[in-house]
């Protein structure tokens, strides 16, 4: 190495090295197919939702009987009003509906509607409503609540308390259903290289569920994005904090890579600070190797040298002083001879 030469790491290989280390970490931690549970939002005001709710809260026998009694009572009231409007006597209406004269007169009153005691009534429980709610929130059973309320003067039955508990359970918001979703590990690895909208095998919702189950994944993606920004925008001051974050992640392969950066710290800092690149040398060496492998076993070193010199003439610039083209020199030939030795 020249004494005054500056050592600069290759930015491409720095990023590539981390992607390879992160990929190994993912393969070590995750299976080829990851199954996660995702919540599925139910569509509002849909027929499917109504069916699901009906299945989740089936009508009890008691509630069914109460509903039928209420419907029968309303039907009798409507028939009594209709017959009275047609001029029938109270006796005729009573004979047809089975209602007493006093009840028929009530139904004739404007704004009067027959009421059912059953569905959600709990009339005798109204006075002790707060106490019942408090004990229910504490997880007490219907028998415990009934016993405690009797000590406070409640004279109703335990069935009213059980209906009260059933009503409260039905009023609680139903948890969104969950479904198992399978995500391939290769799609998880692809997120290291491209944004999620460009990866077909994983949705934003699936990614959020995956990150919730494996929090280190999101930090790994953040490290990959941050390393690209450090190299692209010359943020050399962020190199050391980045290494510290990588070490704190606790993944074996990522820790090994971060330690490697520490061993070559000056070169990594210079890569993030300067615009110099060894792309020209890399391209030249790759071309030398290509010619060497194509002609391996088919020609001598002299013919290979002639081919390289001929290629050198082809790639020379048309304008003198243009240093952007790739052409070979005696140093390249010397490198080739060492490779073939």
Element (H, E) at 178: strand 178-184
Nearest one of 206, 249, 257, 197 to 9, comparing CA atoms? 257
Q: pTM (2 decimals)?
A: 0.51
Instruction: State yes or no: pLDDT of 276 exceeds 50.
Output: yes
Which 3-state string (H, E, C) describes 224-259?
A: HHHHHHHHHCCCHHHHHHHHHHHHHCCCHHHHHHHH
Phi first, then psi, for residue 38 (nearest 5°) are -120, 140
The model's pLDDT over 230-242, given as tens digits with 9 standing for 90+, comes to: 999 999 999 999 9
Give the number of C-alpha atoms closer than 13 A to the C-alpha of residue 75, restricted to the C-beta side. 9
Of all residues in the chain, what percent carry a pLDDT higher than 70?
74
Instruction: State yes or no: pLDDT of 108 exceeds 70.
Output: yes
The model's pLDDT over 181-231, given as tens digits with 9 standing for 90+, comes to: 899 999 999 999 999 999 988 888 889 989 989 999 999 999 999 999 999
Assign 331 a pLDDT band (cuts: 50, 70, 90). very low
Q: What is the pLDDT of residue 49?
A: 43
Q: What is the pLDDT of residue 14?
A: 94
- Higher-confidence residue: 273 or 325? 273
Q: What is the pLDDT of residue 311?
A: 63
- Higher-confidence residue: 82 or 220? 220
């Amino acid at each position: 190495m020249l004494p005054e030469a500056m050592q600069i790491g290759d930015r491409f290989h720095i990023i590539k090295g981390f992607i390879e280390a992160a990929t190994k970490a993912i393969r070590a931690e995750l299976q080829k197919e990851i199954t996660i549970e995702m919540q599925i939002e139910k569509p509002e005001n849909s027929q499917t939702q109504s069916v699901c709710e009906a299945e989740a809260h089936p009508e009890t026998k008691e509630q069914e009987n109460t509903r039928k009694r209420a419907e029968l009572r309303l039907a009798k009231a409507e028939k009594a009003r209709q017959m009275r409007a047609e001029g029938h006597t109270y006796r005729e209406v009573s004979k047809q509906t089975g209602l007493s004269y006093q009840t028929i007169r009530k139904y004739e009153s404007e704004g009067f509607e027959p009421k059912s005691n059953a569905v959600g009534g709990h009339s005798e429980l109204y006075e002790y409503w707060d106490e019942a709610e408090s004990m229910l929130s504490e997880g007490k059973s219907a028998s415990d609540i009934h016993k405690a309320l009797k000590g406070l003067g409640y004279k109703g039955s335990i069935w009213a308390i059980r209906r009260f508990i059933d009503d409260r359970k039905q009023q609680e918001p139903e948890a969104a259903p969950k479904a198992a979703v399978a995500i391939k590990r290769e799609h998880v690895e692809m997120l290291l290289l491209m944004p999620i909208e460009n990866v077909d095998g994983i949705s934003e919702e699936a990614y959020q569920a995956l990150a919730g189950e494996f929090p280190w994944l999101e930090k790994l993606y953040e490290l990959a994005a941050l390393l690209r920004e450090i190299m692209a925008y010359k943020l050399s001051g962020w190199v050391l904090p980045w290494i510290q974050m990588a070490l704190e992640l606790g993944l074996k392969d990522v820790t090994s890579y971060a330690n490697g950066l520490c061993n070559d710290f000056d070169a990594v800092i210079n890569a993030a600070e300067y615009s110099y690149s060894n792309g020209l040398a890399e391209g030249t060496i790759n071309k030398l190797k290509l010619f060497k492998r194509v002609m391996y076993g088919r020609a001598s070193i002299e013919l290979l040298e002639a081919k390289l010199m001929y290629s050198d003439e082809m790639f020379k610039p048309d304008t003198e002083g243009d240093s952007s083209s790739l052409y070979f020199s005696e140093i390249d030939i010397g490198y080739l001879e060492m490779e073939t030795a």
